[in-house]
Amino acid sequence: MNVRASISLVHSISSQAPTNNGTTSFKQVAWGKSGASALYRHSRASIAVISRSNLPHIDPLSKLRGKISKMKLSAGESQTKICADHREARAEVIADKHADTKVPVFDISGLEGAERKLISQQIADTSETWGIFQIVNHGIDPCLMQAAKDVSKEFFYLPDEEKMKIKVVGIEGWNHSKLAGFSGEGKLYKPGTVEHLYLVQSPDTQEHLERYPRNPPAYRTTILEYAKKLKVLHEKLITVLSEMLGLKPDALTLAITTPVGNVTMRTNFYAFNADGKGSPGVCHAHTDPGGLTILLADDVPGLEVNKDGRWVPVNPIPGAFIVNIGDVLEILSNGRYKSVEHRGLPSQTEERLTMASFYGGSHEVIIGPLPELLDEKHPPRYRTCSFGDYIADFVKAGLDGKNGLERMKL
């Protein structure tokens, strides 16, 4: 069966299995690419095999709103149990298949309780040393995350003629390295089969909404709901980073963006050519110019970060988000938080999808080290300019390591 013919209800879930010492561990079992693919759910009493063909087509929003039918599967469980099991998967997954993950991972469910100070300190420390981390138990439904990936892949699977209906204008819309002009993307990607869809999600004016695909039909409603949840998560994390600098909770948010907020999303799709023709494309090493990036990746690895001169792979964890500091936060914090250099590599054997949500900044805001963080022992390390001027210089230079920040240093 062609994998494009039937996007799975759940691409990967966390299955519970007893270990030798009787404790519980979590194992990810991903769908294969043939009709014989099966999901194995392990329990102490039995092993149930659920054929992929037994799963009916489910509209992404039906999954999101809990309107999944109660049809019993061969294991005697309802479909809703699949998402429930996924939500139960906590940070223990890190200790299993992903034990080699070196980028720090945090369970942030405790941010609303007694663990807030400890977790906040860990996030701040990692933002100063790594500039990147993964988060689990972040409050966003894994079914919504999967629905966002599903409708995105459905869009990229459409014929080019359909995608051309929202061909890039300025920065918004669909773009592909094979298109004439490609908006200077040669500086961003090595030519190949990579394509992307760039959307403005906040402010959600009609002008920006017109750039959203109308096909697949569920795309707009699914992605808008996903974006709304992500904006809340962005601001929760930025509040933590602000407090850990000794600032008011909303200080960084106010410094980065306007009251309506500024959130954009770039979905990258690295197609796989079974005939071996053409390069799948490579994203040059770069930093992100904005404030904070939250990345949702599929199960295919490809992201690498530069840690102390060595490229370190970031292994995706089921149900997790990858979070990285952008240039604006490094500048505002006067270098306390580090904008991480990273690059995107394709798989040689599988297609790959990533969905990057960027928070801030608004073009009219002035960026520079915050005065509250400066004194005789901590003079400003960066100059001040509008974010609009900074991004114009960034785009002109293309993805160029950390040179955008270097040009801002005093």
- The secondary structure element, H or E, covering residue 311 is strand 310-313
Residues whose CB is less than 8 angstroms from the CB of residue 194 and which lie 6 or more positions away in sequence, other chains included: 176, 177, 268, 269, 270, 271, 280, 281, 283, 346
Most confident of 28-32, 80-84, 128-132, 347-351: 128-132
Share of the chain above pLDDT 70, in %: 67
String of DSSP letters for 246-291: TS-TTHHHHHHS-TT--EEEEEEEE---TT--S---EEEEE--SSS
pLDDT of residue 382: 97
pLDDT of residue 147: 97
Q: How confident is the model over 167-184, as pLDDT tens digits?
A: 888 889 998 876 655 444
Q: How confident is the model over 7-41, as pLDDT tens digits?
A: 333 333 333 333 444 333 333 333 333 332 232 22
Range scoring the smallest mean pLDDT among 147-161, 192-206, 277-291: 277-291
pLDDT of residue 399: 67
DSSP state letter for 401: B
Range scoring the smallest mean pLDDT among 87-91, 239-243, 370-374: 87-91
Instruction: Identify which has the larger pLDDT, 24 or 372.
Output: 372
**Averaged over 280-291, what is the pLDDT?**
79
**Averaged over 99-105, what is the pLDDT?**
71
SS3 122: helix
Instruction: Identify which has the larger pLDDT, 64 or 263.
Output: 263
pLDDT of residue 398: 67
Share of the chain above pLDDT 90, in %: 49
Domains in the chain (CATH in brackets) are 122-408 (2.60.120.330)
Residue 320 has pLDDT above 80, yes or no: yes
